[in-house]
Amino acid sequence: MPLVLTEQRWLRFGAFCAFYFAQGVPLGLLSVAIPAWLAEQDTNVGELALFTSVVSLPWAGKLIAGPFMDRFTFQPMGFRRPWVLFAQAGLTVSLVVLALTPFDVDAIAPLMVVGFVTNAFAATQDVAVDGMAIDVLPMNERGRANAFMAFGQVAGRPPDLRPGLSHHGLPLRRLGFGVVVLQGSTPSAAPPGAQGSSPLTDLSR
């Protein structure tokens, strides 16, 4: 049975929840865990502020990304699908690179650059997925789908980064930086499907 978002309600909810789960991974790592760990290592306040502002900058570019995606697309693959697949692939690769990046509190520039690129792909995916949601979700499903998406984003953060459980980068200390990142990068490339198929396989948009 073909997997088509426009025809299967459970697939719509599952796919959008998985996409937002993938966005929650870099949000938790780059906005909470790593800055908290850097602060614990007595990193200079100016460097910490610079790191946080630079890695968060791609999210401010969403206003530009939306019209750009509407203008440029690859119609044989659909209207939104090329951007979603591009962002997912880039997000997965960048998370792996982030896990392999040397973590030196005295030289955070490489980590900052990789973090910027990672969030750039996450923000791109956010815009593309929101556009896809408007295209394929009936009006009476949008409220519930939004709840699933919000849940997915929170669930994507490492356990100790969720509200009420944060403890100054505890997972980084226990497991190591690379392990925590790789743990989160795996499901970001695997939205729900069957027999290895992507939920976007037969999407007309």
Confirm whether 4 is domain-assigned: no
Confirm whether 10 is domain-assigned: no
Residue 53: per-residue pLDDT:
92
Residue 77: per-residue pLDDT:
66
Residue 90: per-residue pLDDT:
93
Residue 81: per-residue pLDDT:
80
Given a contact cutoff of 8 angstroms between Cβ atoms, the answer to whether 125 and 66 are in contact is no
Task: Supply the DSSP symbol for 23.
Answer: H
Confirm whether 13 is domain-assigned: no
Of 141, 96, 149, 119, the closest CA to residue 26 belongs to 119
d(CA 181, CA 22) in angstroms, rounded, equals 12
For residue 74, the one-letter residue type is F
Given a contact cutoff of 8 angstroms between Cβ atoms, the answer to whether 115 and 54 are in contact is yes
Could you tell me the residue range of the domain that residue 106 belongs to? Answer: 25-189
Confirm whether 203 is domain-assigned: no
Q: Which residue is listed with tokens 């025809």? A: 7
d(CA 186, CA 205) in angstroms, rounded, equals 26
Q: Which residues of the chain have pLDDT under 70?
A: 1-7, 74-79, 158-205
Q: Is the pTM of this model over 0.75?
A: no
Of 118, 129, 147, the closest CA to residue 69 belongs to 129
Confirm whether 202 is domain-assigned: no
d(CA 54, CA 194) in angstroms, rounded, equals 38
Confirm whether 148 is domain-assigned: yes
Confirm whether 139 is domain-assigned: yes
d(CA 111, CA 89) in angstroms, rounded, equals 20
Confirm whether 20 is domain-assigned: no
23, HSE (Cβ side, Cα atoms, 13 Å): 28
Count: domains in the chain? 1
Residue 16: per-residue pLDDT:
85
Residue 1: per-residue pLDDT:
54
